[in-house]
Structure formats: C-alpha cells, structure tokens
Chain A
C-alpha cells in the first residue's frame, strides 16, 4: 500500500489514555511498566484503540524507555502507542544525524511542541496506574497478558475467573506450570537479551552493569543480540562486548534473533528462556520453546543465578 500510494489507510481509532504517576522503584524498568499494564487489561484490552501514555512516571523516562512502552503497546491489542514530545524528545532528536539538515530547528521545535493532546481532550477510555505499585514482572503463560510480579504466584484461574478455561489450562500445560505456583527460583536454560523492545544501547548498558565482574550460571546459554548495527558499534565503543564475553555470554549478529527464531538462534523444545522480547506465544522462539518475558535487569539476574531471580537483589547492593 505504501509503495503504491504513499499512504496507510486507517479507520479512525478509539482513543485511550493511560496515566502513570509516581516514581518507579529501583530495579523496575519501563519494560515492567508495559508488562504490568498488559497484565492488568489483557492481550486484547486495547484492541481498536490508539493509546496515549502520560503522567510523571512516563515523562521521567528516557526516550529509549518510552520506546519500549510504545513498542509493546500492540501486545494489548493497540494499533499504536503515543507519548507527546517534550524537552527529553528534542534533546534526543538534536543528536540524530538527520537533524542538522533541518534549516530552522527552533521553528521545527515550536511546531513539534504543538503535537500533544489538548488539555480538555476527551478519551474513549482512561486508565490510571501508580508507578510505585509496579514490581519487576515475568510472564507465566503463552500470551503477553499472562504476566505477574516476579515474586508472585500463578493465578488459579484465567482473567475471567474461569478455573476450567481450556485455553488457560492448555497454556499452563505447555509451559509446564501449575496454577498457584511461584516462579522465583525456577531454573532456566536460556537468557536472551535483544529484540526491538529491549535491544537498544541503554538496555545493554543496564544489563552490563548488573553482570559486570560476574560470570553467567553454568546451566544457561545466554544470547546477547544488539538491535541494530549501530547499537553494536556503540556497544563495542563503550567496551560492553568485553563485559559480556568475560561473563561467558554469546554476542550474536544484530537482528531479531531469538525473538522469533527465524535464524539459528532458536530455543530448543521444552527449554525455558528468560527473554527481553515481547511475545511468549507457543513455539515463538522455536517449536516447543517456553518463553518467560522480562526486563533486561530480570534477564541479567537470571543469567547470573541460572534461575528466575528478582533483579532488585542485585540492584540494591
């Protein structure tokens, strides 16, 4: 469509605004924010909507932190996720190679400042969350909405309270889990850090910080995959590749890699992978693979201990 017409045809979507105020705890990241929201409203909770995120917890995020949230909005069915541009945005843009080509950056910025919702804007749905109540998250099932806090227990029933839901039972069976089970301490086999959701330089810096001076657990294979060639170059320049290699991690070619396992970076049948990607469907990372979605910090913690671990144990040191 785009090649033929220069357009994307969109029916006017419904509008959802999600406001998140308060301060995130240490060890809790923007990935945990979006995973928390999806677990609250389900994988189809925003179907038919474009979602705007706002509030102090959102505006205090870096651009890359914001991108993680917007990127994963589709996993709750949203057609798109938006965050209004502000000074953080403009500072980020000024560093991009294409920006110097703009003749009058000041007037562009003035124009960009108008790209926000009016103060009296009416949304079809409004949700409010408190950042303080968000903890590191992990998924236990086979869609991104089946998530819980890292120290939580798998629910006894599906989102509708249906214990006997065929889909719920099938999902847990696939994962080798039971209702009511805790996941903290569960051994894992693979850790994957990468994907469009968490494959940016800040994600790799955070991961490197946690594992610096440590070695990966013997029972796991850890794949580190830059989101792009540019990120890979930055990782090399910042000495991060050395940190990973010293810890025993494999650094793979930039790309989608294990997120959807179209290349050799597959998770084998029945194996558990803590993954910083965005989809934990059956067979997503390879036929029979068992994906546990998490933030880069949670993935890093699992890589060191070899089991599902609360990253706050490392972060508060």
Chain B
C-alpha cells in the first residue's frame, strides 16, 4: 500500500526545536473523522499555525517563508502520545519526506516508515548543532542517503550514520509495506491459526 520509494534526498530544512511534540499538536483530534487521506496537510500543526481569530500565526515556522524544504528538523521525543497514523499523513501531505530528531516515539516511527516518511535519528548534540546552523542560515541543506544510511549537513560537511530496521529500509527503498510482506506469508499464517489450542 505504501508505493512511495525513498532513495536520496537533498533539501533545506524546516526547524521545530520543541521537545515532546505530541500527535495532538501534529493533527488535532477534530480532523480525524475525515474519510480520505487527502488534505491532511492543510491541518498539520493547525492550532500552532493559526490564531483563534483564524488568521495565520506569523510566529509559527510553517508561516515563515524564510523556511522551506522537505525535511522537518524536530526536537526530542517527536510524535509522542496518540498513535493516530493521521499525524504521519499530515506531515507527508504537507510535503515533508523526512523528519530528523534525536528520539522518536515508537508508534509514530513505525507509522512513518509504513507511509514513506523517513524518520532519522541523529545524536542529540548534532541535532542541537543543526538547529543552530539553520537558525543562522535558513538555507542550510542536508543530504539523506537511505541506501548508505548516511545523513550529511551539506554546509558543514558533517556526516553521521543513522540506524534503521533493515526490513523497514528495504520496504522504503522498494515502496512496499507490512501488508505486502505479510501476504507473502499467507500459508504460514493459516497453518499457525489451525494449530492454535485456545478456545477449542
């Protein structure tokens, strides 16, 4: 179902240097009753992007034209809280293809990997440094090579390896998801169910 392939990405960055950004901020609950995956990008960080009056919040990074790009550089523990997959759909629909942090919440990370959005974990001090560089120069670009698992800050040349579950990496490179993988094991699954002893 994923069908989105990820290979190499070079892009400027959008910084969101807050810790513990939860999925209620990423996509507030009132938008979850939609019946299509399209349009979630409009509601990404909705209550931070817009003031109560309905006007755009000029202080918020997504409304600052100085920042652009396909890489969201976040803070520690990004994506915590509710497991809503819509959070990933909103980030992806907005146009991001990778999120960089020093720590992701578990379920958010898996949702991201299943939807073609690459979560990259870099050391905390490099993350802080990157935020500093972006603040000095909003055009700071990064390069993400999924095959080689290398993350590079192009302006400074600093490079770091990032970890990714090998299975998820293959899925992202090829545009496959868990359903494709599980369906390839249909016979084993049926066999296991037949042998279950509970509730006979």
Q: Could you list which residues of chain A lie within 8 angstroms of chain B, going by C-beta atoms?
A: 1, 4-7, 9, 11, 43-44, 47-48, 74-75, 77, 79, 102-103, 108, 111, 142-143, 165-167, 170, 260-262, 269, 279, 281-284, 287-288
CB distance from B24 to the nearest CB of A (A): 4
Q: Give chain B residues whose Cβ lies under 8 Å from the Cβ of A165.
A: 19
- Contact of B182 (CB < 8 Å), options: A4, A11, A43, A75: A4
Q: Give chain B residues whose Cβ lies under 8 Å from the Cβ of A44.
A: 20, 76-77, 80, 103, 105
Q: Which residue of A lies closest to B197 (CB)?
A: A111
Q: Give chain B residues whose Cβ lies under 8 Å from the Cβ of A6.
A: 189, 193
Check: B95 CB closer than 8 A to any chain A CB.
Answer: no
Tell me whether B179 and A283 are in contact (CB under 8 A): no
Check: B160 CB closer than 8 A to any chain A CB.
Answer: no
Docked pose: A108 CA to B25 CA in angstroms: 45
Tell me whether B81 and A283 are in contact (CB under 8 A): no
Q: Give chain A residues whose Cβ lies under 8 Å from the Cβ of B28.
A: 283, 287
Q: Give chain A residues whose Cβ lies under 8 Å from the Cβ of B29.
A: 260-262, 284
Tell me whether B19 and A7 are in contact (CB under 8 A): no
Tell me whether B20 and A143 are in contact (CB under 8 A): yes
CB distance from A183 to the nearest CB of B (A): 20
User: DSSP majority for the A interface?
Assistant: loop
For B71-107 the 0/1 string (1 means CB < 8 A from A) is 0000111001111000000000000000000010111
Q: Which residue of B lies closest to A47 (CB)?
A: B106
Tell me whether B80 and A77 are in contact (CB under 8 A): yes
CB distance from A80 to the nearest CB of B (A): 11
Tell me whether A281 and B183 are in contact (CB under 8 A): no
Q: Identify 6 residue pairs between A and B in the complex whose beta-carbon atoms are under 8 Å apart, listed by A's number.
A: A5-B186, A47-B77, A74-B83, A103-B200, A262-B33, A283-B47
Tell me whether B182 and A5 are in contact (CB under 8 A): yes
Tell me whether B81 and A281 are in contact (CB under 8 A): yes
Tell me whether A9 and B20 are in contact (CB under 8 A): no
Docked pose: A98 CA to B20 CA in angstroms: 41
Docked pose: A77 CA to B81 CA in angstroms: 8
Tell me whether A1 and B182 are in contact (CB under 8 A): yes
Tell me whether A284 and B24 are in contact (CB under 8 A): yes
For B150-182 the 0/1 string (1 means CB < 8 A from A) is 000000000000000100000000000011011
Tell me whether B107 and A4 are in contact (CB under 8 A): no
Check: B198 CB closer than 8 A to any chain A CB.
Answer: yes
Check: B194 CB closer than 8 A to any chain A CB.
Answer: no
Docked pose: A44 CA to B28 CA in angstroms: 21
Check: B30 CB closer than 8 A to any chain A CB.
Answer: yes
Contacts A5-B182, A281-B81 supplied; 17 other A-B pairs, CB < 8 Å: A4-B183, A5-B183, A5-B186, A7-B189, A11-B165, A43-B81, A44-B76, A44-B80, A77-B105, A108-B198, A111-B197, A143-B80, A260-B24, A262-B29, A283-B28, A287-B52, A288-B52
CB distance from A285 to the nearest CB of B (A): 9
Q: Which residue of B lies closest to A75 (CB)?
A: B81
Docked pose: A47 CA to B33 CA in angstroms: 28
8 closest residue pairs by CB, A with B? A5-B182, A281-B24, A167-B19, A260-B29, A44-B77, A281-B22, A9-B178, A4-B179
CB distance from B62 to the nearest CB of A (A): 16
Tell me whether B25 and A111 are in contact (CB under 8 A): no
Check: B32 CB closer than 8 A to any chain A CB.
Answer: yes
Docked pose: A92 CA to B32 CA in angstroms: 35
Tell me whether B25 and A283 are in contact (CB under 8 A): yes
Check: B17 CB closer than 8 A to any chain A CB.
Answer: yes
Check: B199 CB closer than 8 A to any chain A CB.
Answer: yes
Check: B60 CB closer than 8 A to any chain A CB.
Answer: no
CB distance from B184 to the nearest CB of A (A): 10
- Contact of B107 (CB < 8 Å), options: A1, A79, A166: A79
Tell me whether A43 and B20 are in contact (CB under 8 A): yes
If A5-B183, A5-B189, A281-B24 touch, whether A167 touches B80 (CB-CB below 8 Å) is: no
Docked pose: A166 CA to B15 CA in angstroms: 14
Docked pose: A187 CA to B8 CA in angstroms: 54
If A77-B80, A287-B52 touch, whether A9 touches B106 (CB-CB below 8 Å) is: no
Q: Give chain A residues whose Cβ lies under 8 Å from the Cβ of B193.
A: 6
Q: Which residue of A lies closest to B184 (CB)?
A: A5
Docked pose: A269 CA to B51 CA in angstroms: 12
Docked pose: A222 CA to B20 CA in angstroms: 30
Q: Give chain B residues whose Cβ lies under 8 Å from the Cβ of A260.
A: 24, 29, 82
